Amino acid sequence: MSVDKFTFNRENKSFDFLERGTGGAGWGTSVPIDALVPTHCAFCGVQCGMYLEVSQGRIVGVEPRDHPINKERLCPKGVVAYQQVNHPDRLRTPLIRRNGRLVKATWDEALDLVVGKIQEIQRTHGNDAMAVYGGSSITTEKAYLMGKFARVGLRTRYVDYNGRLCMVSAAAANLRAYGIDRLANPFSDIAETDCILTVGTNIAETFPVMIQYLWRARDRGAKLIVVDPRQTTTARTADIHLAVRPGSDPALLNSILHVIVKDGLIDQEFIDTRTRDFDKVRQAVEQYPPERAAQICDVPVEKIVETARMWARAPRAMILHARGLEHHITGTDGCLAVANILLATGKIGKPGCGGGTITGQGNGQGGREHGQKCDQLPGQRSINDPEARKYVAEVWGIPVEEMPPAGVSIVEMIPLMEQGAIRGMISLCNNSMVSLPNLNWIEPALKKLELYVVVDFFLSEVAAATATVVLPGSTWAEDEGVVANIEARCVKINKAVDPPPGARHDREIICEIARRLGRGQYFQFPTPRDVFDELRLASKGGNADWYGISYEKIESLGGVFWPCPTPESPGTPRLYEKRFYHSDGRAVFYPIEYRPPAEVPDPEYPYWLTTGRVVYHYLSGNQTRRLGFLSEESPEPWVEIHTERAAALGLQTGQRVRVRTRRGEVILPALVVRTIRPDTLFIPYHWGPPVAANLLTNPALDPISKIPEFKACAATIEAV
């Protein structure tokens, strides 16, 4: 679902998805516009180009922009994103928790408290008693700053970011298979392909403007195969829909490769010249004939065979995946199984061939590259690599001995908070009381912190429930910087207005805390460009090399795909055309064995529960749930249940039902549908307690990527 400027009736604040043109005032406005500021939408990883309309220092509207990414299209979130900037809920003063309540404070009171408490905690319990938790919906400059602030400002090992709850399984698999963590292709390759296999992603709903590329391929006759437990809006248009049992995807993917090998559809020359270790995978997939996978996945044998042949016989083919594949204890395995298929068929590194993960967060391919991850330094370097530590320490001007070691993921920090090993945390742009799993476990751990500083521009659920200090920060429209979209195309966010009185730029807040801690010499960043220049240098020579990117180059080229190692380089829209990123230039096959989810249905909890997104909301909903049109269209979560099971339980659409797991319960309206597996329930996750889907989910982790198993656990449902 996407709209262009002719289908948005600005005067009536309503959408018309069927007719072009609205008559009357239409898109026009009587407010005199002083400036049209080119920028990009902040509400997903597509990063559609837009103009913000500014009148007398206020943002009053939006115009779609004819940018190569979106070509004047925006989705419902994009056309109202600007409304958060002047929203009455904006935080305009620091808040300090006193006697259990957040009360207003001056900036000096708040910062004195923050810095004094950090010093007390670290003096008494060591530097690692403080933690930093960043976000991936912020500019890369801020993401870089958060990583450096943790390691240089606080000198703690404990830093992680909320991409940990998004695409990290794909990241781990990418590094193993290809030696670099990035989507292999630009969007334009999707339009050129002949067959698209999607696994665990509802592109039409969650990436509404990106779906245009897929429709263009379909218009040329490309086939579409969708793997999803629900018959989603994307699946409804597919040639083949495989409604797999939640968490069974790796078995299906192994079986698809089994058929491809058996039918002689592999590319032996590509395997011989560009890869390593195929024989291990050949032996592994021998154990996954379609008959076995059909039992594990609960889909027909014929559909597995048809899928393998349709996809492998297509001259050009791609595989795209997202959280439905990745949010499992086998998330990394699933992504490696995808890589095995692409590599075995040689359908990668060529026009219309390849694929990978579709990142949901606004800066999904930039926010994770430059040092917020617990085990990475800028440039997508491993923090365990002595050379990388030495290089980045030099850029930062610290002795290499002072560079902290690797930390742990955010979910692994929770037990450390419970135990008192971590006693303070600073977070930017995340909302843990919606987005982390098993919230009944998370809340007391966060409340145990002696200092929990939340920097945000709205009072999120996590700030309201657990923060000891809240600092009012800036929106994307009040800042400039670079984000990298799903394709790894770096685009420029431009400042349209100043933060409202009382709020401050996030960059200034972090640098000021560092200054008050006596570490200001490492945080001399008067402007975002100063951060970007250091970031470029810190990334130089790494996998995610941004050294050759400049603000001006991005603007003049309509975006620059990283890696871009020199000012002369045009960037790298398509990866792997000549070599992979392991030192020998080859990709690596990894044999995968299917493992069931950590928790499976039983007589007490007989359903699978899975979660996901809706078109009207962005991630934890802290931004979109406040915007009138979006909250009117989607005011509360619901639980989808199949018609057959609803009839057996006597449930009807709209009826309040209780959904329970071993971790908690929620009461929601039922939505009775034919478009979900009868053994599966689905809840969108954009809301906080008491209706949060994540009161129910399982915090079991993928052993490699450390992603929680959001997408499969055992649940029960009953009438209230």
The binding site for ligand SF4 (CB under 6 A) comprises: 41, 43-44, 46-48, 70, 74-75, 77-78, 207-209
Report the nearest approach of ligand SF4 to the CB of residue 37 (Å).
16
Q: Are 204 and 1 in contact (CB under 8 A)?
A: yes
User: Closest distance between ligand SF4 and the C-beta of residue 566, in Å?
Assistant: 30
Q: How far apart are CA 658 and CA 651, in angstroms?
A: 11
- Kindly state the smallest distance separating residue 209's Cβ from ligand SF4, in Å: 4
Rounded least distance, CB 207 to ligand SF4, Å? 6
Minimum Å gap between C-beta 204 and ligand SF4 is: 11
- CA–CA distances in Å: residue 321 to residues 59, 200, 210: 36, 6, 13
- Nearest alpha carbon to residue 674 among 244, 248, 230: 230
Q: Count CB atoms within 10 A of the CB of residue 621.
A: 27
Least Cβ distance, residue 206 to ligand SF4 (angstroms): 9
> In whole angstroms, how close is the CB of 69 to ligand SF4 at the nearest point?
8
Q: Which is nearer to ligand SF4, 581 or 618 (CB)?
A: 618
With tokens 């000549």, the residue in question is 578
Please, which residue, 209 or 305, has the CB nearer to ligand SF4?
209
Closest approach, Cβ 391 to ligand SF4, in A, equals 34
Q: How many other C-beta atoms can be found within 10 angstroms of the C-beta atom of residue 444? A: 12
Min. distance of Cβ 367 from ligand SF4 in angstroms?
Answer: 15
CB closer to ligand SF4 out of 137 and 185:
137
Q: Who's near 84: CB < 8 A, 6+ residues apart?
A: 90, 457, 458, 475, 623, 626, 627
Residue closer to ligand SF4, measured from CB, 59 or 517: 59
Q: How far apart are CA 333 and CA 253, in angstroms?
A: 10
Q: 3-class DSSP state for residue 234? A: coil
Task: Spell out the SS3 assignment of 165-197.
Answer: HCCHHHHHHHHHHHCCCCCCCCHHHHHHCCEEE
Question: 73 or 223, CB closer to ligand SF4?
Answer: 73
70 versus 622: smaller Cβ distance to ligand SF4? 70
- Asked if 681 and 639 count as a contact pair (C-beta separation under 8 A), the reply is yes
Cross-strand partners of 199: 227, 321
Q: CB–CB of 419/430 below 8 Å?
A: no
> Residue 588 Cβ, how far from ligand SF4 at the closest point, in Å?
33
Q: How far is the CB of 624 from ligand SF4 (least distance, A)?
A: 9
The residues with which 105 forms a beta bridge, in sequence order, are none
**Residue 40: CB minimum distance to ligand SF4, A:** 7
Which residue, 77 or 586, is less far from ligand SF4 as judged by CB?
77
SS3 713: strand
Question: Can you tell me the distance from the alpha carbon of 620 to that of 147, in angstroms, rounded to the nearest whole number?
Answer: 22
CB 640 → ligand SF4: shortest distance, Å? 23
Q: Which is nearer to ligand SF4, 207 or 605 (CB)?
A: 207
Is residue 381 within 8 A of residue 545, CB to CB? The reply is: no
Strand segments, DSSP code E, in 41-188 are: 49-55, 58-64, 73-74, 95-98, 101-104, 130-134, 159-161
Residue nearest to ligand SF4 (CB): 78
Whichever of 46 and 284 has its CB closer to ligand SF4, that residue is: 46
Looking at the Cβ atoms of 181 and 205, the one nearer to ligand SF4 is: 205
590 token code pair: 């990894």
CB closer to ligand SF4, 46 vs 707: 46
**At closest approach, how far in Å is the CB of 41 from ligand SF4?**
3
Task: Using the minimum distance from each CB to ligand SF4, give the nearer residue, 134 or 208.
Answer: 208
Provide the minimum distance between the beta carbon of 2 and ligand SF4 in the complex, in angstroms, as a whole number: 7
Shortest distance, position 371 Cβ to ligand SF4, whole Å: 25
Name which of 208 and 528 has its Cβ closer to ligand SF4. Answer: 208
| Nearest residue (CB) to ligand SF4, 78 versus 179 | 78
Both tokens assigned to 546: 């941004």
3-state helix, strand, coil in the chain (%, to 5): 35, 20, 45
Looking at beta carbons only, is 359 or 376 nearer to ligand SF4? Answer: 359
Do residues 416 and 449 make contact, with C-beta atoms less than 8 angstroms apart?
no
Q: Are strands 49-55 and 489-493 parallel, antiparallel or unpaired?
A: unpaired
Contact 335, 171 (CB under 8 A): no
Nearest CB to ligand SF4, comparing residues 43 and 682: 43
Structural contact between residues 340 and 326, judged by C-beta atoms closer than 8 angstroms: no
Tell me how far apart the alpha carbons of residues 35 and 57 are, in angstroms, rounded to a whole number: 9
Residue 185 CB, shortest distance to ligand SF4, in Å, is 18
**H, E, C per residue of 572-623:** CCCCCCCCCCCCCCCEECCCCCCCCCCCCCCCCCCEEEEEECCCCCCCCCCC
- Nearest approach in angstroms of CB 64 to ligand SF4 is 8
Q: How far apart are CA 567 and CA 585, in angstroms?
A: 24
Going by C-alpha positions, the residue among 692, 685, 676 that lies closest to residue 640 is 676
d(CA 621, CA 110) in angstroms, rounded, equals: 27
Parallel, antiparallel, or unpaired for β 275-276 and 587-588?
Answer: parallel
Give the C-alpha separation, 138 to 153, whole Å: 19
Q: Which residues pair with 39 in a beta bridge?
A: 50
103 burial (CB, 10 Å; 0-12 / 13-18 / 19+) is: exposed
Smaller CB separation from ligand SF4, 85 or 293: 85
By beta-carbon proximity to ligand SF4, the closer residue of 133 and 685 is: 685
Cα separation, 237 vs 224, in Å, equals 8
648: how many CB neighbours lie within 10 A of its CB? 10
